[in-house]
Amino acid sequence: MLLRSKPPFFSLLLIAVAMISVLLGNACRDRARPGEGESAPKGEPDQYSATIVRTIENDASHETTITQEVRSGEQRREEWTEQGQNRALIWRPDLGKSYLLDLDRQAYVETSLADENIHDDSPLQDRESADSTNGLVQAVDRALDDAPSPDRVETRMLPISEIGGHSCKVYEQRATFPDGHTEITRTFRARDLGGLALRTESEAQPASVRIITERKDVSLEVAPDVFTVPANFKKVDKLER
């Protein structure tokens, strides 16, 4: 188990958004308008595990957060440490369920993926707001709905780069918005790992914030029991803090 310090609110929000985008894939709508600019290709192995290191840099601070991710088909698991407590989220579309686990207290909250009765208009304070994955999905989706679409999206290939012994195709996407700012995303995709993104660099111009997401210690071996709640865990309505 990796030990990690408590990330600030901004980091938590970014992790939450990243987590949901990984879990849901295309559930949230793309901000780019159809037909405006070519998108960088996406891909990843059907099964893998990795450590995700996300760094947020600006003029005044440098924050790093670490999570563990595992995938097998549609099944997902993410693991992190928050406020000194070890948490895990298991995503099981095949069962129509998600499970939020307290690994220290051996307890879990079960949520139905089909449950649409959960509504949360309050600000997203942390990963456990509303004790539900659905509430977080809705918050992220609302944020994307309110965001403006770019006027233009341009994608180009950069020279091949090597990361951790993997030869990567590099794609740069530039999205220009009505207010004049530009968002730049560079994605490094490993050719021998089905196009898995080993590094993503995101920044805006003009702006001083830069976000770097890296996948490290990638393995194609995944134990099937990581997607199952241990038999000795107790089902509860809400996790303790």
CATH number at residue 46: 2.50.20.10
Distance CA 100, CA 23 (A): 14
By residue range, what is the domain housing residue 176? 9-235
* 92 inside domain: yes
C-alpha separations of 18 from 13, 47, 80, 122, 150 in Å = 9, 19, 13, 20, 20
Confidence (pLDDT) at 101: 96
Specify if 240 maps to a domain: no
Q: pLDDT, tens digit, for every residue of 9-32?
A: 333 444 444 444 444 333 333 444
Q: Considering the domain boundaries, does residue 140 fall inside one?
A: yes
- Residue 129 falls within a domain, yes or no? yes
Q: What is the pLDDT of residues 158-185, one digit of tens each?
A: 999 999 999 999 999 999 988 888 899 9
Does residue 4 fall inside a structural domain?
Answer: no
Rounded distance, CA 119 to CA 188, Å? 37
Contact yes or no for 193/44 (Cβ under 8 A): yes
The model's pTM is 0.71
CB atoms within 10 A of CB 49: 19
241 within some domain: no
Q: Among the ranges 75-84, 99-108, 127-136, which has the highest mean pLDDT value?
A: 99-108
pLDDT in tens, 191-240: 999 999 999 999 988 777 889 999 999 999 999 899 999 999 999 999 98
From the list 100, 108, 42, the residue with the least C-alpha distance to 76 is 100
Written as one letter, the residue type at 179 is D
CB–CB of 154/172 below 8 Å? no
The rounded mean pLDDT for the chain is: 78
Chain centroid to Cα 94, Å, comes to 20
pLDDT average, residue stretch 76-98: 93
Domain count, the chain: 1
